């Protein structure tokens, strides 16, 4: 679609979206108006979107409503705004919650993926003009992470979308726009796990199991999984977990058990729960001298991390990870190609496929710990 053609100018679209009207209450199917893409934006027909734990955390606690959640998604470009040159109508894309402008200090550095222009958006608006592209009966509806994929159509900044191979199934690769990519990247980019190393992972949800897969592919000799849900062990073995620990089954701190079975502490520890107290435990579980702890979880409460200085004096390191260190537009196409070539597992993370109207069921399944990823399929 040519953005300069007066004949081809996109119009407002009316479509279905699942709108959150207040914290913790069921999403409601509404008719929403979706504005045309503004300069440097694209409008996307969402094909599939998967539910991420972060969506639930925000839905339960944040104060910006009404809102359309969802950020882990795949779709097809429906129209492009003025100035967009890298996308055309019909392109297959992944949406991303943190963008890549390619010109800021962080985008130009090989050390960071924290774009200063299109970073994590927390106010429920678009990066470009601080406005919304959704409305219900003339009243604005706010965005989530500048994506809002729980809608048949959405508008995103062109820097927050990634063109992918049309060979890749959109109902599978949507997982690579957040959770699975975040875990793989934490193992490969942030920790840079070495062959023969010992790894412990706290929390065996999608992100934790993606870390396990990344560790296995790097040749880790022992991968310890820690979770209070014993039902997760069988699935965890498929992704490379060699030892399963349930803290509720021990009468001693779990970090002591880990240090004992790993011969003095792990080379790498990953906190994938979103519990700052567990960050401290993860740090205590890795070895002196070179032990590295990576925290990936987003805490609901108590955001401060407490640790004794001796952990750092003894040579341990604590690192944070956002989206596994991937620069989304530069790096995600190659990750999608790894999936096409069967170098990485993605399908195995999908435990449920649900129609769009059943999205509240997906919320229930995840809150009850009965799923890894629920893929939500949009109507044809």
DSSP string, 237-300: HHTT--EEE-GGG-SS-HHHHHHHHTTS-BSEEEE-S--HHHHHHHHHHBPTTT-EEEE----S
SS3 at position 215: helix
User: pLDDT at position 2, please?
Assistant: 38
Give kind and range of the element (H or E) at residue 210: helix 206-217
Residue of 277, 312, 279 lying closest to 295 (CA atoms): 279
CA distance between the termini of the chain = 21
Mapped onto helix, strand or coil, the DSSP state of residue 152 is coil
CA angle, 307 as apex, 305 and 311 as ends, to 5°? 135
Instruction: Note the pLDDT of residue 62.
Output: 72
Q: Give all strands of the β-sheet with 268-271 in edge-to-edge order.
A: 243-245, 222-226, 198-202, 268-271, 292-295, 317-320
Q: pLDDT tens-digit profile of 330-374?
A: 999 999 999 999 999 999 999 999 999 999 999 999 999 899 999
Supply angle C-alpha 15, 19, 20, rounded to 5: 175
Sequential pLDDT tens for the chain (380 residues)? 334 444 468 899 999 999 999 999 999 999 999 999 999 999 999 999 999 989 998 999 877 999 999 999 999 999 999 999 999 999 999 999 999 999 999 999 999 999 999 998 989 999 999 999 999 999 999 999 999 999 999 999 999 999 999 999 999 999 999 999 999 999 999 999 999 999 999 999 999 999 999 999 999 999 999 999 999 999 999 999 999 999 999 999 999 999 999 999 999 999 999 999 999 999 999 999 999 999 998 887 888 888 899 999 999 999 999 999 999 999 999 999 999 999 999 999 999 999 999 999 999 999 998 999 999 999 97
pTM value > 0.75: yes
pLDDT for position 298: 82
């Amino acid at each position: 679609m040519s953005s300069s053609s007066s004949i081809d100018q996109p119009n407002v679209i009316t479509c279905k979206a699942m709108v959150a009207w207040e914290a913790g209450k069921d999403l409601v199917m509404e008719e929403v108006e979706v504005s045309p893409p503004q300069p440097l934006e694209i409008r996307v027909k969402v094909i599939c979107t998967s539910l991420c734990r972060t969506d639930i955390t925000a839905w339960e606690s944040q104060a910006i409503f009404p809102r359309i959640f969802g950020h882990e998604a795949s779709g097809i470009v429906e129209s492009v705004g003025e100035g967009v040159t890298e996308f055309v109508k019909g392109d297959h894309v992944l949406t991303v919650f943190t963008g890549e402008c390619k010109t800021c200090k962080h985008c130009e550095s090989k050390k960071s993926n924290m774009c200063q222009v299109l970073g994590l958006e927390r106010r429920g608006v678009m990066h470009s003009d601080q406005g919304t592209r959704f409305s219900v009966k003339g009243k604005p509806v706010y965005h989530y992470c500048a994506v809002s994929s729980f809608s048949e159509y959405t508008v995103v900044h062109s820097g927050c979308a990634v063109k992918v191979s049309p060979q890749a199934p959109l109902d599978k690769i949507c997982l690579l726009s957040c959770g699975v990519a975040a875990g793989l990247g934490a193992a490969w980019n942030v920790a840079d796990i070495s062959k023969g190393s010992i790894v412990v992972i706290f929390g065996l949800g999608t992100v934790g199991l993606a870390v396990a897969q990344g560790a296995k592919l790097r040749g880790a000799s022992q991968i310890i999984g820690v979770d209070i849900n014993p039902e997760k062990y069988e699935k965890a073995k498929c992704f490379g977990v060699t030892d399963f620990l349930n803290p509720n089954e021990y009468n001693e701190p779990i970090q002591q058990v880990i240090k004992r079975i790993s011969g003095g502490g792990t080379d790498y520890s990953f906190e994938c729960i979103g519990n700052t107290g567990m960050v401290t435990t993860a740090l205590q579980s890795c070895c002196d001298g070179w032990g590295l702890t990576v925290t990936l979880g987003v805490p609901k409460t108590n955001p401060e991390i407490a640790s004794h200085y001796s952990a750092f004096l003894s040579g341990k390191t604590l690192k944070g990870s956002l989206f596994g260190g991937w620069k989304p537009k530069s790096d995600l196409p190659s990750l999608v190609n790894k999936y096409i070539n069967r170098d990485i597992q993605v399908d195995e993370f999908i435990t449920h496929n649900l129609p769009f109207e059943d999205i509240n069921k997906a919320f229930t399944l995840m809150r009850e710990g009965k799923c890894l990823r629920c893929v939500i399929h949009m109507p044809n």
